[in-house]
């Protein structure tokens, strides 16, 4: 299944500005939507190192593409270890690095790991089997106060305490095994008006659990300085975020680099998708692109 639509593709390629012979790292390779566009621009001898944490997505991509461009290297791993992955592949010099921090359509629709509240699947939510815990373990094992904190912090959910309390009540009777069971528990915890709202009532809780399970913010904080260090002088670092807290991490990191005169902001304000793109791909609506050039 290959239906992930790359977000802000034209804007990202314009900012990264790949040229023939330049080498790039795509830290969130997925199914190679952005990577293909880069490889079209850095032909004939530019290379691309694709990092993808989800081993199943890598297998699926290789099944769909048995003949991979010899200029493309795909490495399964966590982008928080970008320095080690670049070193392992003796890859460089690096002219540009891209992070697309959004969850892929494949993970939501085909992984079977409980990322979507619209499907009835086991509560897993791990991108990789080597993660510290599953969503099932968080939901059924975490102290209600810790659970409420996660839902409030990562989901920015105003009914976090009520949801955590209802989860604790439900799991005392029987473990919450599936996404559908969790969705029903959340529904019973929030006001009727919230259930009828424009945004699905489980959206923020599911987002929070996914972030916790995959240590997403910790990985971003670990990866950014390593990625910047890997760039050659004049190299570009482009990051697409979808969550306000993600964007804050990126914004502050880029701002500090600019203040220290070690980088130039190529996007004074985040680049957002056009109305046309949002209509064609609703998942793009919260995307923000920020780009810097190493001085």
In DSSP notation, 146-172 reads HHHHHHHHHH--TTHHHHHHHHHHHHH
Q: What DSSP state is assigned to residue 191?
A: -
Are 32 and 96 in the same domain? yes
Domain extent for 18: 9-106+216-294
In a domain, 202, yes or no: yes
The arithmetic mean of pLDDT across residues 114-125, rounded, is 94
102 with 15, same domain: the answer is: yes
Here the tokens at position 144 are 């209600």
Number of structural domains the chain divides into: 2
Residue carrying the six token digits 């990866």: 223
Tell me the two tokens of residue 273.
Answer: 């998708």
Residue 36 has pLDDT above 70, yes or no: yes
pLDDT over 50 at 1, yes or no: no
Q: Which of 195, 213, 231 is the last residue of a domain?
A: 213
Mean pLDDT of 217-221: 96
Examine the pLDDT at 220 and tell me if it is beyond 50: yes
The string of pLDDT tens digits covering residues 146-165 is: 999 999 999 999 999 999 99
Q: Is residue 113 part of a domain?
A: no
Pair (223, 202) in one structural domain: no
CA dist 182 and 161 (Å) reads: 15
Q: What CATH number is attached to the domain comprising 177?
A: 1.10.150.170
In a domain, 4, yes or no: no
Q: What distance in Å separates the CA atoms of residue 150 and residue 29, rounded to the nearest whole number? A: 27
As a 3-state breakdown, the chain gives helix, strand, coil percent values, each rounded to 5, of 50, 15, 35
Residues near 33 by beta carbon (within 8 Å), at least 6 away in sequence: 4, 5, 6, 9
Residues 82 and 93 placed together within one structural domain of the fold: yes
**Any idea what the CATH number is for the domain that residue 267 is in?**
3.40.50.150
The whole-chain average pLDDT of the chain stands at 94
pLDDT per residue as tens digits for the range 95-107 = 999 999 988 777 7
98, part of any domain: yes
Query: Does 101 lie in the same domain as 16?
Result: yes
Other C-beta atoms closer than 10 Å to the C-beta of 236 total 24
């Amino acid at each position: 299944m290959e239906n992930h639509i790359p977000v802000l593709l034209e804007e990202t390629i314009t900012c990264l500005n790949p040229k023939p012979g330049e080498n790039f790292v795509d830290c969130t390779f997925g199914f190679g939507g952005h990577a293909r566009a880069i490889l079209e621009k850095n032909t004939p001898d530019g290379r691309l190192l694709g990092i993808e944490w989800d081993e199943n997505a890598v297998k699926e991509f290789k099944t769909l593409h048995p003949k991979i461009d010899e200029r493309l290297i795909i490495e399964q791993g966590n982008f928080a270890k970008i320095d080690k992955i670049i070193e392992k592949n003796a890859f460089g010099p690096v002219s540009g690095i891209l992070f697309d921090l959004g969850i892929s359509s494949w993970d939501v629709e085909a992984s079977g790991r409980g990322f979507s509240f619209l499907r009835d699947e086991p509560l897993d939510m791990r991108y990789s089997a080597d993660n510290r815990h599953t969503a099932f373990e968080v939901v059924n094992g975490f102290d209600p106060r810790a659970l409420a904190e996660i839902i409030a912090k990562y989901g920015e959910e105003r009914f976090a305490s009520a949801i955590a309390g209802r989860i604790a009540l439900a799991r005392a009777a029987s473990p919450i095994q599936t996404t559908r069971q969790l969705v029903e528990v959340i529904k019973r915890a929030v006001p009727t008006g919230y259930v009828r709202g424009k945004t699905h009532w489980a959206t923020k809780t599911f987002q929070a659990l996914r972030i916790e399970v995959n240590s997403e913010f910790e990985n971003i904080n670990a990866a950014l300085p390593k990625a910047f260090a890997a760039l050659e002088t004049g190299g570009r670092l482009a990051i697409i975020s979808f969550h306000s807290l993600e964007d804050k991490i990126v914004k502050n990191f880029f701002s500090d680099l600019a203040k220290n005169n070690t980088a130039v902001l190529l996007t004074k304000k985040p680049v957002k998708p056009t109305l046309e793109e949002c209509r064609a791909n609703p998942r793009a609506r919260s995307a923000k692109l920020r780009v810097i050039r190493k001085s």
